[in-house]
Amino acid sequence: MAKRPIPTVIAIVGPTSSGKTDLSVRVAKKVGGEIISADSRQVYRGLNLGTGKVTHAETRGVPHHLLDVANPRTIYNASDYVRDGRRALADILGRDKTPIIVGGTGFYIDALLGRIELAAVPPNHALRKKLAKMSLAQLQNRLKQREPKRYKTIDIQNPRRLIRALEISLTKKTAAPPPPLPAMQIIWIGLALPATVLKKRIHARLLNRIKKGMLREARRLHTAGVSWKRMHALGLEYRYQALYLQKKITKAEMLEQLEKESNAYAKRQMTWFKKNPDIKWVSPQNAPALIKEVRAH
């Protein structure tokens, strides 16, 4: 009996606003693929405009996985993502479809695809409560001292992530391992743009999302029970919108900080992805040729 060929998984990565969503749908349409979102905030229901979540129309009928799987009032971490992501991988491959991992959360992608091993550390609620009493600066300093390498890649403005990183560093108990990774070959595609172009796209995208009602979305989340503290922990758009809605900053300050932080986030994303030598970097303009190449596999 002939051996079944090793299935192919496609990973499309890159910084925010680089065009990953559009390319992923086009690739999926060509290869008969299904998309697994790799975004640490798009897993939450109701975080749509703020995260740039794909709309129903934009999916063009392509199935998407790991969107809207968690309540924004709760914490859904990398371990949860790897568990659910590997189940989605097995499901898609079991139906002879091509999984396409798409997103900008490099830590989640690398954990899902086995490039890094997650610390098998279960939640330590007593420790979290103790760490939550510390100021942002204290959390930053403590992590910098204990885990200088992790400190360089983490969102140091996000207390939730700082607390989780410290929890991993300080805890010795282990949790159940994630589902095994299926046998597969991975095609890595990265979208890269000149810094000036990416900055313009980030600026235009921010204004477009404000125009579409991003602030109304933030108000709805808070009305639905997402606390200001939780919105701060959700980062970027929700952090600064929460400050604006509490009248702690002006709208102009909100937009300025959002754009500044989005550009800084894009740089951190690229720093992470550049560690992976298997990524083939292309510009969005070269996407049509790349799609043909992917289809040939």
Which of 191, 66, 172 lies closest to 127, judged by CA? 172
How high is the mean pLDDT of the chain? 90
Which of 296, 294, 286 lies closest to 19, judged by CA? 286
The CA-based dihedral angle spanning residues 33, 7, 77, 149, taken in that order and rounded to the nearest 10 degrees:
-120
Question: What is the tens place of the pLDDT at every residue in 236-258?
Answer: 999 999 999 999 999 999 999 99
Question: What is the tens place of the pLDDT at every residue in 65-84?
Answer: 999 999 999 989 888 999 99
> What's the pLDDT score for residue 180?
82
> What's the pLDDT score for residue 183?
84
Pairwise CA distance, residues 243 & 262, whole Å: 16
* Sequence-ordered alpha helix ranges (H) in the chain: 20-31, 56-59, 78-94, 106-112, 125-132, 136-146, 148-153, 159-170, 195-212, 214-223, 228-234, 236-245, 251-273, 287-296
Percent of the chain scored above 90 by pLDDT? 70
Q: Is this prediction's pTM over 0.85?
A: no
Which of 296, 291, 293 lies closest to 25, judged by CA? 291
Helices 287-296 and 20-31 pack at an angle, to 10 degrees, of 30
Question: What is the tens place of the pLDDT at every residue in 134-191?
Answer: 999 999 999 999 988 888 888 888 888 888 888 888 876 555 667 888 889 999 999 9
What is the distance between the terminal CA atoms of the chain, rounded to a whole angstrom? Answer: 23
